[in-house]
Amino acid sequence: MARSLYIHWPFCLAKCPYCDFNSHVRERTDTGAWKTALLADMRAEHAASKSRAPLESIFFGGGTPSLMPPALVADLLGEAERLWGFASGIEITLEGNPSSVEADNFADLSRAGINRVSLGVQSLRPEVLQFLGRLHGVEEALAAVETAQKHFSRVSIDLIYARPDQSAEEWQQELTEALALGTSHMSLYQLTIEPATRFATDVRLGRFNPLQDDPAADLFALTREMTEAAGIPAYEISNHARPGEESRHNLTYWRYRDYHGIGPGAHGRRGGVATMRHRKPENFLAAVRAQGDGISEHRVLNKRESASEALLMGLRLREGIGLAEMSNRFGIAPGEMIDGKKFAFYRDIGMLWEEGERIGVTGEGMPLLDALLAELVRDELVET
């Protein structure tokens, strides 16, 4: 049963050169129209769902949800609670940029019901922020983190590393400074050059070269070593938290549990059905007016497709997956999901681990996760 809700706010003040998320820059937005559309989409999602379980997590993603008027956030949370109800201790996260303008809304967002924020700090070096196309400065980011810690019980920050020509010494110093901020959760991402981004064009034109794989792997190992020592170990390939401070909402995805998704471009999984909303904001609004929801695709997933997705998501986690649980859940024998010979090979060289019926990827294997998944997951499972 779906116990999580994702709400997508697609607007940003500027498009970052590395970003391939569903984000859009508009001179103005009609808050009233978006309130009407998002509430209608939420009601339609509730009506279509067989789940009446109370929500355990809500996540406002984007885009830049911290640009949303706090009153709109409050209205959406009020309707979600009316429709599904809230479980005790519900986690309600909002993504935001650490600008002074957005930090000014933190008190009102807290009163609206937000109890966890994820701030896109991205770097503590001014020249890097400029390279990444960020609109905030270092001091502004530090002030925003401090303000967030006053208003929210849980604060996470994002940082991007493995940048062009970045040395281990440089990253060690920057990560040391970030750890000293005392947040309970950190999302630490290696810079990835995604297709159809400005950085992809820059690399193609030779304006800069991405960091090579070997030094990037060294930085990955350093990151794990430092966060482990600081008491916020990795629980997912890029996410680190104090014990008990893991993102419960994101664990819903990685453990392949059902969740509702509303807003432009939002994905959802409920009852073996995959949903996808229209990505372009204007198309989403038009769809809601025409059909009562923003859905562009509604597709029944077969058991093999679901098992494949569950494997690809679950093996990102430090806890790994339970093969017996997966087999019972999808009605597929473990040997039909995982190539046993390849698993044994990679286990024996320290890339994978096995404890009873649970398997997972070791710290040494995580930098090669995509390649390992391509080797392990049965081709016929992925192709179905």
- The pLDDT tens digits of the residues spanning 152-178 come to 999 999 999 999 999 999 999 999 999
> Does a structural domain hold residue 278?
no
Residues 312 and 180 in one domain: no
User: What single string gives the DSSP state of each residue in 169-198?
Assistant: HHHHHHHHHHHTT--SEEEEEE----TTSH
How far apart CA 248 and CA 38 sit, in angstroms, is 23
**72 neighbors 34 (Cβ within 8 angstroms):** yes
**199 neighbors 193 (Cβ within 8 angstroms):** yes
Place of tokens 């208003």: 151
Residues 240 and 318 in one domain: no
Does 381 have pLDDT greater than 80? no
Residues 225 and 323 in one domain: no
Place of tokens 């993603």: 61
Mean pLDDT of 113-131: 97
**Residue 103: per-residue pLDDT:** 82
Q: What single-letter DSSP state applies at residue 212?
A: P
Structure confidence at residue 68 as a pLDDT band (50, 70, 90): very high
> Does a structural domain hold residue 236?
yes
How far apart CA 141 and CA 87 sit, in angstroms, is 32
> Does a structural domain hold residue 292?
no
Does 347 have pLDDT greater than 50? yes
Residue 368: partners with Cβ closer than 8 Å, 6 or more residues away: 351
- End of a domain among 254, 283, 317? 254
> Does a structural domain hold residue 364?
yes
Residues 246 and 312 in one domain: no
Residues 350 and 209 in one domain: no
Residues 231 and 339 in one domain: no
- Counting the structural domains of the chain, the total is 2
Residues 184 and 37 in one domain: yes
> Does a structural domain hold residue 287?
no
Structure confidence at residue 102 as a pLDDT band (50, 70, 90): confident
**51 neighbors 82 (Cβ within 8 angstroms):** no
Does 211 have pLDDT greater than 80? yes
- End of a domain among 229, 254, 279? 254
Q: What is the largest CA-CA distance in the chain?
A: 59
**Residue 380: per-residue pLDDT:** 63
How far apart CA 181 and CA 115 sit, in angstroms, is 18
Does 106 have pLDDT greater than 50? yes
> Does a structural domain hold residue 44?
yes
Does 277 have pLDDT greater than 50? yes
**Residue 384: per-residue pLDDT:** 47
**Residue 50: per-residue pLDDT:** 76
Helix, strand, coil percentages for the chain (3-state, nearest 5): 45, 20, 35
**222 neighbors 41 (Cβ within 8 angstroms):** no
Q: How many angstroms separate the Cα of 365 from the Cα of each of 16, 198, 212? A: 30, 30, 18
Output the domain CATH number for residue 339. Answer: 1.10.10.920
Residues 198 and 314 in one domain: no
Q: What single-letter DSSP state applies at residue 372?
A: H
Domain, as residue range, for 363: 307-383
Residues 212 and 344 in one domain: no
- End of a domain among 222, 238, 254? 254
Does 193 have pLDDT greater than 70? yes
Residues 234 and 149 in one domain: yes
Residues 137 and 233 in one domain: yes
Output the domain CATH number for residue 123. Answer: 3.20.20.70
- Number of other residues whose CB lies within 10 A of the CB of residue 204: 9
> Does a structural domain hold residue 217?
yes
Mean pLDDT of 236-241: 98
Phi, psi of 13 (to 5 degrees): -75, -25
Strand pairing category for 185-190 and 234-236: unpaired
Mean pLDDT of 320-334: 94
Q: What single-letter DSSP state applies at residue 302?
A: P
Stated pTM of the model:
0.96
